[in-house]
Structure formats: C-alpha cells, structure tokens
C-alpha cells in the first residue's frame, strides 16, 4: 500500500510476484531475479489464495505461478485473476514439460510457462517477454494450441447440410431456412434429420453443439 516511486533507473523494473508452495523454490527464484537487472521482486505467496490477495494489492507486472499447490491451486488462481481483470501477466512454472497441465493454464489466461529448472538466462528472458505481453511457449505447447484451432474438415456433412446447419445456428426457423435456400420446409427437415443421424444427436441445439465440437462450425 506504500507509495513507491522506482523510476531512478532509465527503465522501470519489472515487478514480480513469486507463487510457489516450496520455500526453497521461492527463495531461489527470488534471489535470482532480485540480483538480475531490470527486475524487482515485490512479493511471494505460498498458495493461490495468497497470490490473489497479493496480486490485487501489489499490482505486479508478472506473476511466476506454480500449478501444484495446497489449498487453491495455480489453475484456479489464474482463472480468478483473469475473472477479476488483474492485468499482471502470468508465467506458469512447471517441474516437467507436461503439456497436459499447461494447456488449461493457457486457456485460463496464462501468458506462457517456464520450466523451473530452466537456465537462469531462459528464466530472465521468459519473464521479460511475458512483461511485454509476448507468449512464452515451447514448440510442443504451441503445436497443441494450433491443433485446437485447426479445422480437420472431415467433410462429414454435405455442402447443403452444412448450409442448413449454419442457418439453423444463426437462429433461423425451418421455414426461414427454406425461404433462404429456395426449397420447401419439408426438405429442410429432411436435411436436419440426416444431420442428426450423422452427428449422433436428436435435435437442432445438440446438432449445433456437436458441430462446434467437431470443428464443422467455428466461432466467429
């Protein structure tokens, strides 16, 4: 809460909050960054709840966040930070390069991740990149992200069926779809029944959801 004016150096230092349940890790990271130029460690926390409190009060630029912690874990903390609109960039700290845990953190709002046992230079560079808002990702995680947006385009539905489904997703009634496609309402229903069979669903709402799941429809 104390008013600090640290613009003596040419560049304002990057304010760090370190969150890890192991004191040894906290101390190690803290001393590493404290001794590096351009960084200032403004706080440490041992679990997600403490991290949330400190983040709100200290307004750090970058939060180094462990995922596995007692009490509120890192993923929940990141979700909360995002929900609260905290602007700090979150760098996830992982022990191993375990993608499956990292991806949900990215989706929750993390800017990237670092391995705890990365070389000192990598940690400093990653934190600086995060402070600039740049992602810090390994190729394997980046590849997983790409797969999430790639359209497999399995051509499961015919072109006409996809047209019908898109119009239904846009809120058109069967009659409106028919008018737009210059066919009768009965034909629209027939297409819809084929769509239901192909997608394994029983109504239009489930068909739309399944189409998004299968990337047949993509969020705009």
Nearer to a copy of itself, 38 or 104 (CB): 104
For a copy of itself, the binding residue among 32, 129, 156, 179 (CB under 8 A) is: 129
Q: What are 188-195's contacts with CB under 8 Å, separation 24+?
A: 188/164, 191/160, 191/161, 191/164, 192/164, 192/165, 192/168, 194/161, 195/157, 195/161, 195/164, 195/165
Residues 137-166: x/- map of binding to a copy of itself (CB under 8 A)?
x-xx-xx-xx-xxxxxx-x-----------
Query: What tokens appear for 209 in the block?
Result: 């959801």
| Range list of H helices, the chain | 23-34, 48-58, 74-84, 99-108, 120-131, 139-149, 159-169, 174-181, 185-199, 204-213
Exposed, middle or buried, 58 (CB in 10 Å: 0-12/13-18/19+)?
middle
Contacts of 186 (CB under 8 A, 6+ apart): none
For DNA, the binding residue among 126, 174, 210, 217 (CB under 7 A) is: 174
Nearer to a copy of itself, 23 or 202 (CB): 202
Tell me: does residue 170 bind a copy of itself (CB under 8 A). yes
Total residues contacting a copy of itself (rule CB under 8 A)? 47
Tell me: does residue 106 bind a copy of itself (CB under 8 A). yes
CA distance readout (Å), 157 to 119, 185, 203 = 50, 19, 16
Tell me: does residue 175 bind DNA (CB under 7 A). yes
For DNA, the binding residue among 115, 169, 183, 209 (CB under 7 A) is: 183
Tell me: does residue 181 bind DNA (CB under 7 A). yes
CB of 127 to DNA, least distance (A): 36
* 3-class DSSP state of 18: strand
CB of 179 to DNA, least distance (A): 11
Total residues contacting DNA (rule CB under 7 A)? 24
For DNA, the binding residue among 128, 180, 189, 215 (CB under 7 A) is: 189
By the criterion CB under 7 A, which residues form the site for DNA? 158-161, 173-175, 181, 183-187, 189-194, 196, 202-205
């Amino acid at each position: 809460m104390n008013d600090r004016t640290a613009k003596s150096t040419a560049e304002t230092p990057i304010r760090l909050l370190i969150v890890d349940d192991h004191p040894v890790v906290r101390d190690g990271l803290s001393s590493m960054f404290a001794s590096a130029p351009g960084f200032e460690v403004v706080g440490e926390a041992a679990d997600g709840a403490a991290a949330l409190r400190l983040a709100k009060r200290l307004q750090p630029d970058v939060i180094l966040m462990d995922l596995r912690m007692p009490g509120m874990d890192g993923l929940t903390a990141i979700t909360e930070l995002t929900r609260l609109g905290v602007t700090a960039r979150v760098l996830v700290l992982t022990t191993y390069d375990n993608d499956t845990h990292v991806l949900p953190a990215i989706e929750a709002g993390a800017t990237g991740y670092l391995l705890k046992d990365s070389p000192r230079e990598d940690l400093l560079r990653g934190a600086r990149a995060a402070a600039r808002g740049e992602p810090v990702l390994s190729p394997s995680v980046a590849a997983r992200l790409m797969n999430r947006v790639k359209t497999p385009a399995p051509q499961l539905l015919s072109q006409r069926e996809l047209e019908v489904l898109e119009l239904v997703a846009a809120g058109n009634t069967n009659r409106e779809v028919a008018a737009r496609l210059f066919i009768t309402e009965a034909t629209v229903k027939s297409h819809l029944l084929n769509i239901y069979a192909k997608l394994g669903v029983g109504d239009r709402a489930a068909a739309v959801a399944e189409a998004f799941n299968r990337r047949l429809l993509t969020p705009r």
